[in-house]
Structure 1
Amino acid sequence: MQNWGILGGTFDPVHWGHLLMAETALIQADLDKVIWVPSFSPPHKQVMEFEHRSSMVQLAIADHPSFALAPVEANLQAIDYAIHSLNYLQSLYPHTHWHWIIGMDAFTTLPRWYRRQELITICDWLVAPRPSTHVQLDDTQVAQQLALQGMTIRSSLLAMPSVGISSSLIRQYCRQGRSIRYLVPEAVRIYIDTHKLYSN
């Protein structure tokens, strides 16, 4: 049985916080691999084109032997929810135990996720703290909300420092013409600059 992690997100753009989250989960949960899954068409967000976001993730993880970009499944390109991604990955990689790696902000919305009953039973959940978040309180609240819906979740908190970097901050810096060096991997910074992403 393989022990793999899933790190999903818009990655608009990917940054050092995402990489630290993935690395911490890899070590803490003794994962064999972390599969990165950029959302193709997030149901509730307007984001940069998938090709750009996917290319930036590929550049960011290229030198890590235990990180891999998920294959694109054409039938899921119209709209994608977490359960679609997981079902597809299960079909590709049977005999795998899955851990969903997630930031605390997104984790607190889990009680409202589409087809969450299936996700919660299939995955263990590795939750990264956010700056200025009462981590234990939020973690407990999510478990309580799910319990009221008849679900029990297996979750643990990642032992990592809070990282005050966000994709929205990076996009803001780009619009303002400010440097994003050291906020993202250098290959990602060059890609953003070359393609003039987020400048408008």
Structure 2
Amino acid sequence: MAKIGIYGSSFDPITYVHLWTASTVAHRCKLDRVIFLPSSSRRKDKKIYTEDYHRWNMVQMAIQDNEKFIADDYEMKQDPWKITTYETLNYFKEKYPNDEIYFIMGADLLVDIGEGKWGNAETLIRENKFIIMARDGIDMLKAISKSPILRNNDNGNTFHLIDKGLAMEISSSYIREEFALGGEPRYLLPESCYNYCITNSLYQKERK
């Protein structure tokens, strides 16, 4: 039985922080594989700046040298108004029936689920396992204990909390801003992805 982490994000663009996070989580949680799952650009709840095929191409370029990393475009192919993380995890559990599936996310998303802001929140927690990464200002244990959805559906193995040394400040939005303002984000993302952004004029605004 393999242990697989599902790492969903817009990856707009994918950065070294994404790769470092996935590698660190895989190492600490003894994951055999991490699946990078880019969001659909058609989602109504998240602003995505780049077409799906550009982000998909960059994810594939970024992970090609790590045998533990694979990419899946499942969510890009779905109607975003008909699918939630619950359906996504069911898809992966059916795809890998003999393996153990974990959803990787930040503590801020844990809080949102605990407040019932996600579709099928209670069933999502009851039927799945999660690797939760710390976020500044969020007490993960307190977030679980104060939410009936989280605490009443935790069987003791539901949440794997990572609260040490997993916070870096460079974000995709920072890189987008650097490109747009004529900055130089070259060493914040893989060289192949940096060159792809330049070649395809991604994130760059016309400047007078």
TM-score normalised by structure 1 residue count: 0.87
**Residue number in structure 2 paired with 1:185:** 190
- Give the one of 85, 89, 93 matched to 1:86: 89
- Higher mean Cα deviation, 180-189 or 85-94? 85-94
SS for the counterpart of 2:189 is: coil
Matched length = 196
Structure 1 residue runs of 5 or longer lacking an equivalent are: none
Aligned CA distance change for structure 1 residues 73 and 175 (closer, same or farther; 3 Å): closer
With 113-122 and 58-67 compared, the bigger mean Cα shift is at 113-122
**Alignment identity in percent?**
29
RMSD: 2.1
Q: What does residue range 36-47 of structure 1 map to in structure 2 within 5 Å?
A: 36-40=36-40, 41-47=42-48
Q: Deviations over 1:127-179 (max 9, x none)?
A: 2234xx134x2x12320243356432423115434211111111111110101
Distance 1:165 1:171 in 2: 11
How far is the alpha carbon of 1:73 from its aligned partner?
6.4
One-letter amino acid of the structure 2 residue matched with residue 175 of structure 1 = A
Structure 2 length-normalised TM: 0.84
Asked which structure has the greater RCO (Cα within 8 Å, sep 6+), the reply is 1
Q: Distance in 2 between matches of 1:193 and 1:60?
A: 15
Q: Who is 1:97 aligned against?
A: 100
Match of 2:5, SS? strand
**Pair 1:144-2:148 in alignment:** no
**Unmatched 5+ stretches in structure 2:** none
CA change 1:64–1:158 in 2 (3 A) is farther
1:119 alignment partner in structure 2: 124
Using the TM superposition, name which of 154-163 and 53-62 deviates more. Answer: 154-163
* Structure number with larger C-alpha Rg: 2
Distance 1:102 1:146, change over 3 A: same
CA distance change for structure 1 residues 125 and 74 in 2, over 3 Å: closer, same or farther?
closer
Counterpart residue identity of residue 148, structure 2: A
Amino acid at match of 2:89: L
